[in-house]
């Protein structure tokens, strides 16, 4: 007998157990953020009174984002994910959301197709060891084989971290101040086709220094403005990184041009030096895919970005890293 009820903070351990069984990267903070974003939009399914499955939806106007569709392995194939999805979609209909999106795993895709979702594009999850920032001219980047060796040898990782000089990064990269928040949200909305300002505010509150903005200006302007706050009018992109249960997750990273995207992605990688990283990159963004390859990362898996309802144009070429499947 199936019953669907609201998820609460007390269900976070259930969510953690289910996502661990699926080998996912989320932390308790990720679950709690979903509950804060949409307290009435997170659901638990109980089978004969036992909690066995979860699904969360978030509203980033005009998009409703579906995530954390997880079913306990012993009760899969009984229609539980389908029923939870129908419940979540009815909730989003009630909120008047015209577009629903998600990043599907291979297991989830057939369930969503039967519910009317269609594929938009692929998202590649790159994985690797962050050995430092971009190599100086004449120095080759660490290879994937080298990265594995580094992972097995923490001493080597420390050595690599010492080599990482963020001074090599774009001089315009700095933590996002409150005055830049609106410009960051506007750039993110243009890239993703969704207003994620509430999410971005939460991320800045959680880790104020982890969100970085890149402002574009000629070098002489940087010298003149040293020590002063940077003008948000010239914002070229932003980035965020967060700890996951298996790896540091780089993303979101959105940029107006490839040069800004590369610089922000390198700075994010540098911020994760000495750690394993995941980066979810839309496959159409060839420049970002080539960046990941050049930095010694390798594709670990793929997701399918899917949509139901009206198109909400995003710009994958400006997305250098998605947030991750739970927020797109
Ligand atoms: C993907 C996942 C959520 C599906 O959950 P589920 O509850 O098994 O999904 P459903 O039962 O609704 O549908 C799955 C299959 O069961 C079938 N089914 C549905 N109702 C059924 C019933 N009453 N009896 C038997 N089979 C049934 C469906 O037709 C479907 O068949 P398929 O093999 O052709 O795909 C689950 O496999 C899971 O948690 N996987 C790991 C995490 C993951 O990848 N999540 C998706 C993220 S995008």
Q: Distance between CA 201 and CA 190 in Å, rounded?
A: 17
Helix extents (H) in the chain: 12-21, 28-37, 80-94, 109-114, 144-152, 154-163, 181-192, 197-206, 219-224, 258-271, 286-294
Contact of 200 with 184, CB cutoff 8 Å: yes
Q: Distance between CA 109 and CA 304 in Å, rounded?
A: 8
Q: Distance between CA 192 and CA 82 in Å, rounded?
A: 26
Q: In Å, what is the CA distance from 99 to each residue of 61, 105, 141, 285? A: 9, 19, 41, 22
Kindly state if the Cβ of 22 falls inside 6 Å of ligand 1.
yes
Tokens encoding 108: 């989830």
CB-based contacts of 93, cutoff 8 Å, min separation 6: none
Kindly state if the Cβ of 253 falls inside 6 Å of ligand 1.
no
Tokens encoding 141: 């980047």
| Alpha carbon nearest to ligand 1 atom 16, residue | 77
Choose which residue among 18, 55, 65, 71 to substitute to test ligand 1 binding: the one with the highest number of ligand atoms within 8 A of its C-beta.
Answer: 71
pLDDT of residue 143: 38
Kindly state if the Cβ of 71 falls inside 6 Å of ligand 1.
yes
Query: Is the peptide bond between 252 and the residue preceding it cis, with omega within 30 degrees of 0?
Result: yes
Contact of 55 with 88, CB cutoff 8 Å: yes
- pLDDT tens per residue across all 328 residues of the chain: 999 999 999 999 999 999 999 999 999 999 999 999 999 999 999 999 999 999 999 999 999 999 999 999 999 999 999 999 999 999 999 999 999 999 999 999 999 999 999 999 999 999 999 985 444 443 333 333 333 333 333 333 333 333 344 545 788 999 998 889 999 999 999 999 999 999 999 999 999 889 999 998 755 555 555 554 444 458 999 999 999 999 999 999 999 999 999 999 999 999 999 999 999 999 999 999 999 999 999 999 999 999 999 999 999 999 999 999 988 9
Collapsed DSSP state (helix, strand, coil) of residue 245: coil
Choose which residue among 78, 101, 326, 327 to substitute to test ligand 1 binding: the one with the highest number of ligand atoms within 8 A of its C-beta.
Answer: 78
Q: Distance between CA 134 and CA 139 in Å, rounded?
A: 9
Nearest Cα residue to 131 out of 113, 151, 114:
151
> Which ligand 1 atom is the nearest neighbour of the CA of 112?
48
Residue with tokens 């978030």: 58
Distance between Cα 124 and ligand 1 center (Å): 23
Kindly state if the Cβ of 279 falls inside 6 Å of ligand 1.
no
> Which ligand 1 atom is the nearest neighbour of the CA of 106?
44
> Which ligand 1 atom is the nearest neighbour of the CA of 303?
48
Collapsed DSSP state (helix, strand, coil) of residue 127: strand
Name all domains of the chain by residue range, CATH numbers in brackets.
2-97 (3.40.630.30), 124-321 (3.40.630.90)
Contact of 285 with 108, CB cutoff 8 Å: no
As a dihedral over the C-alpha atoms of residue 47, residue 11, residue 197, residue 314, rounded to 10 degrees, the angle is -30
| Alpha carbon nearest to ligand 1 atom 36, residue | 71
Kindly state if the Cβ of 45 falls inside 6 Å of ligand 1.
no
For 272-298, letters b (16+ CB in 10 Å) and e give: bbbbbbbbbbbbbbebbbebbeebbbe
**pTM score, whole prediction:** 0.86
């Amino acid at each position: 007998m199936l019953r669907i009820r609201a998820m609460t903070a007390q269900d976070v351990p259930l969510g953690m157990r289910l996502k661990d069984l699926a080998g996912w990267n989320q932390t308790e903070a990720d679950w709690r953020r979903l509950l804060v974003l949409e307290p009435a939009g997170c659901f638990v399914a109980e089978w004969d009174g036992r909690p066995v499955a979860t699904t969360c939806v978030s509203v980033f106007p005009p998009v409703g984002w579906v995530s954390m569709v997880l079913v306990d392995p012993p009760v899969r194939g009984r229609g539980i994910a389908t029923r939870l999805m129908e419940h979540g979609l009815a909730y989003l209909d009630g909120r008047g959301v015209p577009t629903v999106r998600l990043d599907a795993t291979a297991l989830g895709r057939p369930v969503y197709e039967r519910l009317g979702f269609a594929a938009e594009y692929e998202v590649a999850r790159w994985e690797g060891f962050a050995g430092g920032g971009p190599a100086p001219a004449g120095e080759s980047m660490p290879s994937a084989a080298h990265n594995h060796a580094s992972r097995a040898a923490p001493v080597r990782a420390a050595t690599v971290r010492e080599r990482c000089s963020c001074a090599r990064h774009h001089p315009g990269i700095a933590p996002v101040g409150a005055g830049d928040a609106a410009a960051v949200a506007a750039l993110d909305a243009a890239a993703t086709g969704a207003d994620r300002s509430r999410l971005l505010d939460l991320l800045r509150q959680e880790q104020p220094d982890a969100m970085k903005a890149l402002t574009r200006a000629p070098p002489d302007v940087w010298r003149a403005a040293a020590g002063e706050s940077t003008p948000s009018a010239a914002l070229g992109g932003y980035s965020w990184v967060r700890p996951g249960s298996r790896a540091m997750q780089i993303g979101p990273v959105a940029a107006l041009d490839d040069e800004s995207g590369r610089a922000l992605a390198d700075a994010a990688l540098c911020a994760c030096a000495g750690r394993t990283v995941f980066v979810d990159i839309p496959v159409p963004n060839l420049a970002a895919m080539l960046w990941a390859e050049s930095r010694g990362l390798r594709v670990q898996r793929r997701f399918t970005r899917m949509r139901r309802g009206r198109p909400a144009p995003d710009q994958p070429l400006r997305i250098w890293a998605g947030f991750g499947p739970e927020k797109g």
